[in-house]
Amino acid sequence: MELQEQFSHITTLISKAKENAFQAVNKELVTLYWHIGEYISQQVEKKAWGKSVVKELSLFIQESEPNITGFSSQNIWRMKQFFETYKDFTKLAPLVREITWTNNIIILPCKSIEEREFYIKMTIREKWSKAELQRQINSSCFERVMLANTKLAPMERVFPKEVTNTFKDTYVLELLQLPESHLEKDLRKAIAQNITKFLLEFGRDFAFMGEEYPLQVGNQDFAIDLLFYNRNLNCMVAIELKIEKFKPEHLGQLNFYLEALDRDIRKPHEQPSIGILLCNGKDDIVVEYALSRTVSPTLVSDYQTKLPSKELLQRKWKEILESLDPEKYN
């Protein structure tokens, strides 16, 4: 057993070296594309180059370096767009080198620099693959997280750490392939049995602690639908599932569970537990009223079994921005 552990240590070193080598190669590749884009941008600005010259450049590179790929005229124009998009944002220039060129290209069409920054940072943090990143953009992850960030006041009062960009206003569970008509136990079972898929939506900082997690208070037994642990926030996260629209009375049960967790389960070094009420629909004004006097770090989110309307979420986020700064958006 001791020898196997020593061998495992060596294979871990090999894996880490391979990962470091890939990151170094990727950084150099993206840096190369940045400098090519910068040079082409300068030539176009001088009106010295146009589409025909870039096409000739592409053919020249392919003839001179037949064993390398990625220098089609279309991709070269993307290098120019890539440089021009980020050249005035010095804090993002180092970050774009930490993700793959493919993921950079997926992020590039996003509408604002704030949205691009969000997806760059989340790709680094969550280690999203090409497919995972595309799904997050298609499901309007940026808008859903930004909407949640505006509703985290109870948590910010309790937590010394930054809690933004951790939760979502709406969770999209299309990966679970739930039928439109389902019971709470169906939803709970689908999440528990497909935890890897669920964590793609929920976040990789969350660790699953259990389904119907048991609690005993007095002489009575209770069970939390789903219990997670967030490694970054250093706290337990209790999720209660409701297949109906949010009702204020739902919060009483969740707050009771949070109290029980903090009194009986939480360890001294851990932060207070967080509660998420995951409902099948909610009225934001009713939620605001219901949460206004609660001292528990609680978030009310809804869930959807199909991809949401991107236009609707963008409109909701724009309304929030307009309310915060009406002069800028009117």
Residue with the larger pLDDT of the pair 292 and 241: 241
Q: Mean pLDDT, to the nearest integer, of 130-139?
A: 94
pTM: 0.82
pLDDT single digits (tens) 192-230: 999 999 998 999 899 999 999 999 999 999 999 999 999
Residue 100's pLDDT band (boundaries 50, 70, 90)? very high
Distance, CA of 224 to CA of 300 (rounded, Å): 16
Q: Are strands 274-279 and 298-304 parallel, antiparallel or unpaired?
A: parallel
Distance, CA of 323 to CA of 319 (rounded, Å): 6
E-only strand ranges, 231-297: 235-242, 274-279
Q: Collapse the DSSP code of 109 into the 3-class scheme (helix H, G, I; strand E, B; otherwise coil) and give the result.
A: coil
